[in-house]
């Protein structure tokens, strides 16, 4: 079984809709991250969390919010989706900040 | 602010050709360095990493990278590429005490038989 899972894997939605992307991990890591990937831009950090009570904004947090429901779960929400949020979204985990990050399979989100 | 530059955006090679992908970063302190690979339709996977010690790091699938501190570089190399190496390659840097991994924009490698 995959260590980092994301649901849904694909989602098409309309402008203005609220969307939640979910991430779960079985690696036992404290640190979790949400990135978006756009062609030619690499990965940009949206939010990150070092434990259940710790949430931090990344480079591009505007228009997004997160919830760390448990050590193993980290959800990303788009309160009112807009077309330029169409992207591939990845969740990642790490044991400590300086160590390897392990990525989930990604969620492809299309906002019409 | 930290940044990571990958100057080769798209590289096209024939099988058995040698590969070198450039990666430069801007940060003067201690760093951890990573190369990730993303095969078509898949998630990012760690190719290799450098934390300390021997600056020549060997990774999976015959890849290696050399950390040259004076040049702020961490170039990825493979002596002979295969068609299965077709993928996007990302360099990433984690500077101590910053808690974040900064990615380059990626290099798309296409290998033709």
Are the C-beta atoms of B22 and B73 separated by less than 8 Å? yes
State the Cα–Cα distance between residues A19 and A17, nearest whole angstrom. Answer: 6
The mean of the pLDDT values for chain A is 93
Q: pLDDT, tens digit, for every residue of B79-92? A: 999 999 999 999 99
Nearest chain B Cα to A33, which residue? Answer: B100
pLDDT, tens digit, 9 for 90 and up, residues B31-76: 899 999 999 988 899 999 999 899 999 999 999 999 999 999 999 9
User: Which residues of chain A lie closer than 8 angstroms to B5, CB-CB?
Assistant: none
B107 touches chain A (CB under 8 A): no
Rounded mean pLDDT, A81-107: 90
Nearest CA in chain A to B106: A42
Closest CA to B106 of B85, B92, B86: B92
Residue A1 has pLDDT above 60, yes or no: no
């Amino acid at each position: 079984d995959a260590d980092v899972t994301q649901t849904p894997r694909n989602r098409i939605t309309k402008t203005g809709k609220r969307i939640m992307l979910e991430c779960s991990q079985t690696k036992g890591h404290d640190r979790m991250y949400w990135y978006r990937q756009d062609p030619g831009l690499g990965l940009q950090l949206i939010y990150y969390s070092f434990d259940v009570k710790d949430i931090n904004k990344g480079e591009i947090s505007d228009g997004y919010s997160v919830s760390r429901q448990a050590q193993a779960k980290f959800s990303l929400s788009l309160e009112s989706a807009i077309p330029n949020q169409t992207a591939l979204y990845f969740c990642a985990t790490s044991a400590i900040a300086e160590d390897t990050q392990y990525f989930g399979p990604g969620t492809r989100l299309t906002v019409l | 602010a930290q940044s990571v530059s990958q100057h080769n955006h798209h590289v096209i090679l024939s099988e058995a050709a040698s590969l070198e992908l450039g990666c430069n970063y801007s940060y003067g302190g201690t760093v951890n360095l990573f190369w990730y690979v993303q095969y078509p339709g898949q998630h990012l996977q760690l190719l290799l990493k450098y934390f300390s010690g021997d600056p020549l790091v060997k990774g999976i699938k015959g890849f290696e990278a050399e950390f040259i501190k004076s040049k702020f570089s961490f170039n990825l190399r493979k002596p002979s590429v295969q068609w299965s190496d077709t993928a996007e390659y990302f360099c990433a840097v984690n500077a101590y005490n910053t808690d974040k991994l900064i990615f380059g924009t990626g290099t798309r490698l296409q290998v033709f038989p």
